[in-house]
């Protein structure tokens, strides 16, 4: 199937051709026909699946048919996303896809002065991408009204909840017109996510892209068994030996990301960190330097990494294995996109064995273990994998033991 067969109009098809898009991804193939019928959609999919195009292309097509050049432009399409980086990325995609239409689009986010954003809004905007805090701020000041919204998208809903935006989202929902098309996307569908979706959607169609479907087939995956204390030495050695142009390194914590950058700097490797404690300007500067090739190694936490979309990213390194298996798929999906090949390397210390087993179970693949490296953890008896919530424990006789399950 090609994009024309999905029912997209010629101006959009031209834009997609310019972007080099040949075949729709699974989520695009499933979601676009539904959205062109103006039905609500509940999508379970991660970044890297092509979901941005899946929801923006139909909205652009609807707006293109409805826009009246003689009337003042009102915000009719709204996408809310958790981070500035992702908001900028989505708006950049909207600009590319809508280049052959007359639509006006804008992006607003916090952490910067609002002057340039409010001036853009005053000129009239059809399609708005926003982070929750700045959106509510500008609504409160009278720069934005949501009473004309016809198309509403909540993207990365699970991250919204993780970052504490639930109350902001509920405030926005109260201001939306009842008669609208709503789209809801999340990488996971925990009970809290499902409850939130029910407040936004009517009777939605559902599209689920399973995590194993999102793992890029061209990504070479491997794991290094290494003691925690030796991880930084192994990381420095790999980066120097591989001589790649760009490496994205994932840390579970902000403190850990800073520590990795400091140690790499001591080893003569230029690196920068992005995480929630960094200012917006510092995060954007680091990301722009990374995209431009001025910084070869970017160390990120998972939330801060949302929205990072770097062409020809050579290598993803899981310095810390994620404690949620789905996050692994999300991380490695950043390399090997489109027609490019990529590599994903994971470090696993003794305490992370349970995480590795959960990841391998999710992707239904046993990762290749690299044994011929200087820092291999050769201890014969590593601690057993920690038991998960789904595993029952047998109580010891004559004694009750209360333990908290590991997350």
Whether residues 232 and 161 fall in one domain = no
Terminal Cα distance for the chain, rounded? 41
Residue 394: inside a domain: no
Name the band, by pLDDT with cuts 50, 70 and 90, for residue 116.
very high
Domain total of the chain: 2
Whether residues 126 and 263 fall in one domain = no
Q: Does the pLDDT value for residue 393 go beyond 50?
A: no
Whether residues 181 and 52 fall in one domain = yes
Consecutive H or E run containing 95 = helix 84-97
Confidence (pLDDT) at 103: 95
Nearest to 57 by CA among 99, 85, 86: 99
| Interval 93-115 mean pLDDT | 94
Q: Which of 182, 209, 236 is the last residue of a domain?
A: 209
Name the band, by pLDDT with cuts 50, 70 and 90, for residue 129.
very high
CATH of the domain at 279: 3.40.50.300
Q: Does the pLDDT value for residue 246 go beyond 50?
A: yes
Confidence (pLDDT) at 336: 57
Global pTM value: 0.65
Percent of the chain with pLDDT over 70: 86
Q: Does the pLDDT value for residue 47 go beyond 90?
A: no
Q: Does the pLDDT value for residue 379 go beyond 70?
A: no
Confidence (pLDDT) at 397: 44
Q: Residue 257 sits in which domain range?
A: 213-370
4-8, 159-163, 325-329, 348-352: least confidently modelled range: 325-329
Residue 120: inside a domain: yes
Whether residues 179 and 277 fall in one domain = no
Residue 61 CA to residue 58 CA, distance in Å, equals 5
Whether residues 260 and 135 fall in one domain = no
Q: Where is mean pLDDT largest: 20-24, 93-97, 184-188, 340-344?
A: 93-97
Q: What is the pLDDT of residues 280-300, one digit of tens each?
A: 778 878 888 888 888 889 998
Residue 272: inside a domain: yes
Whether residues 241 and 159 fall in one domain = no
Whether residues 154 and 122 fall in one domain = yes
Give the DSSP letter string of 16-32: HHHHT--S--HHHHHHH
* Cβ neighbours for 275, distance < 8 A, ≥ 6 positions apart: 254, 257, 258, 300, 301, 303, 304
Residue 402: inside a domain: no
Q: Does the pLDDT value for residue 78 go beyond 90?
A: yes
Residue 384: inside a domain: no
Residue 380: inside a domain: no
20-29, 107-116, 319-328: least confidently modelled range: 319-328
């Amino acid at each position: 199937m090609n994009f024309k067969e999905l029912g997209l109009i010629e101006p959009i098809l031209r834009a997609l051709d310019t972007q080099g898009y040949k075949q729709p991804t699974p989520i695009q193939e499933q979601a676009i026909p539904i959205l062109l019928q103006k039905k609500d959609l509940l999508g379970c999919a991660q970044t890297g699946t092509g979901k941005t195009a899946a929801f923006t292309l139909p909205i652009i097509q609807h707006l293109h048919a409805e826009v009246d050049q003689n009337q003042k432009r009102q915000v009719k399409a709204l996408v809310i996303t958790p981070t500035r980086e992702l908001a900028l990325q989505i708006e950049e995609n909207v600009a590319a896809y809508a280049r052959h239409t007359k639509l006006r689009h804008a992006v607003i986010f916090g952490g910067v002065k609002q002057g340039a954003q409010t001036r853009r809004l005053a000129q009239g905007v059809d399609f708005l991408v926003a982070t929750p805090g700045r959106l509510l701020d500008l609504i409160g000041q009278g720069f934005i009204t949501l009473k004309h919204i016809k198309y509403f998208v909540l993207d990365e809903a699970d991250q919204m909840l993780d970052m504490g935006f639930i109350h902001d989202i509920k405030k926005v929902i109260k201001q939306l017109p009842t008669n609208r098309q709503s789209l809801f996307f999340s990488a996971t569908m925990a009970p809290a996510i499902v409850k939130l979706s029910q407040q936004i959607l009517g009777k939605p169609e559902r599209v689920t892209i399973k995590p194993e479907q999102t793992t890029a087939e061209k990504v070479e995956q491997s794991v290094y068994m290494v003691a925690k204390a030796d991880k930084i030495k192994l990381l420095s050695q790999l980066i120097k030996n591989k001589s790649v142009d760009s490496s994205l390194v994932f840390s579970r914590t902000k403190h850990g990301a800073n520590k990795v950058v400091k140690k790499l700097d001591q080893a003569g490797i230029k690196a920068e960190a992005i995480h929630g404690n960094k200012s917006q300007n510092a995060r954007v500067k680091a990301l722009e330097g990374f995209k431009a090739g001025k910084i070869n190694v970017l160390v990120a936490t998972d939330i801060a990494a949302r929205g990072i979309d770097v062409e020809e990213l050579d290598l993803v390194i899981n310095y810390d294995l994620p404690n949620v298996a789905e996050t692994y798929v999300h991380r490695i999906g950043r390399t090997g996109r489109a027609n490019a090949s990529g590599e994903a390397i994971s470090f696993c210390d003794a305490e992370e064995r349970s995480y590795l087993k959960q990841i391998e179970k999710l992707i239904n693949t046993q990762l290749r273990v690299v044994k011929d490296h200087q820092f291999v953890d050769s201890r014969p008896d590593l601690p057993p994998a920690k038991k998960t919530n789904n595993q029952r424990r047998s109580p010891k006789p004559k004694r009750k033991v209360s333990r908290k399950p590991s997350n």
